[in-house]
Structure 1
């Protein structure tokens, strides 16, 4: 089967279902960030974040958070094609031919989906509000892609060659 031709037997997930699953995943992300923060705070004896004049975390804290969150999503997608948020909505991430995801596809999807977070750097030049709005608008564009795509694939799915399907 050609991996570039979508499998017509797969039922693509609707955008509202995908967004609800993403909302559920937000709670898992908050729990992971809080847990990693707690462990790091304990490991550094409370010296993780300095508040001398302005709040500043140690240099390795944000990359560690990103690495742990990336591991959560990639492991979930590779293990069963589902994150915690996708399970109650009966959604699964697959290749466009219906097969199981490959590591490279999961990594590409993660990087493409997280790319709008780079716009947070606008906060250094403009304001935090401008940076947050830029990220929100970029993500809206990425997901709005699913409204025009015949298989309801968001931009990061198109880039990675993946598709979110609804399970029967």
Structure 2
């Protein structure tokens, strides 16, 4: 606990992370549909890199906007809030930095498997293993924060549910 703010447990943060992925399915689906319609893409591998760049931007807009307001939809459900190290709301610039740094969940294992042209199941095992390692590394931080949050100058804290 720092500044009276309690860090949510690792299991709760990871459950929120998984739930966020489920919610993002709709965002990615809609963005992919819009991209495919506007670019008249007829085959899945056509414009693949442009689609990946577009999705990177769409996800960035989603996360930066919600984090600058304190919580994503999944974070509201799990009563978790992202704040600066001072306990205040974060700016859009800090949220953007957190977004870029949060790619450490995926980029290292994907960069490691790229030269070997591995199959889907092998990539899944390596990515899942890295995600587990990265999550467990938060146990070595004094406030149990994820290391990309430390680098971004942000913290995840417990947020009391809003009254109806």
TM over 0.5: yes
The aligned counterpart of 2:114 is 123
CA change 1:67–1:23 in 2 (3 A) is: same
- Consecutive unaligned residues of structure 2, counting only runs of 5 or more, are none
Alpha-carbon deviation of 1:13? 1.1
What value does the CA root-mean-square deviation take over the aligned residues? Answer: 2.0
Q: Residue 156 of structure 1: SS of its match in structure 2? A: helix
Q: Residue 87 of structure 1: SS of its match in structure 2? A: helix
Is the CA contact 1:12–1:166 (under 8 Å) kept in the aligned structure 2?
yes
Larger deviation: 19-28 or 139-148? 139-148
Specify which structure has the higher proportion of helix: 2
The aligned counterpart of 1:102 is 91
In 1: Cα distance, 2:97 partner to 2:134 partner: 14
The aligned counterpart of 2:30 is 35
Asked if residue 8 in structure 1 is aligned to residue 3 in structure 2, the reply is: yes
Asked if residue 111 in structure 1 is aligned to residue 100 in structure 2, the reply is: yes
Count of residues in correspondence between the two structures: 156
Deviations 1:91-112 (A, max 9, x none): 1000121011123322222222
Q: Residue 69 of structure 1: SS of its match in structure 2? A: helix
Asked if residue 73 in structure 1 is aligned to residue 68 in structure 2, the reply is: no
| Structure 1 moving runs of 4+ over 6 Å | none
- Consecutive unaligned residues of structure 1, counting only runs of 5 or more, are 1-5, 50-55
CA change 1:151–1:92 in 2 (3 A) is: same
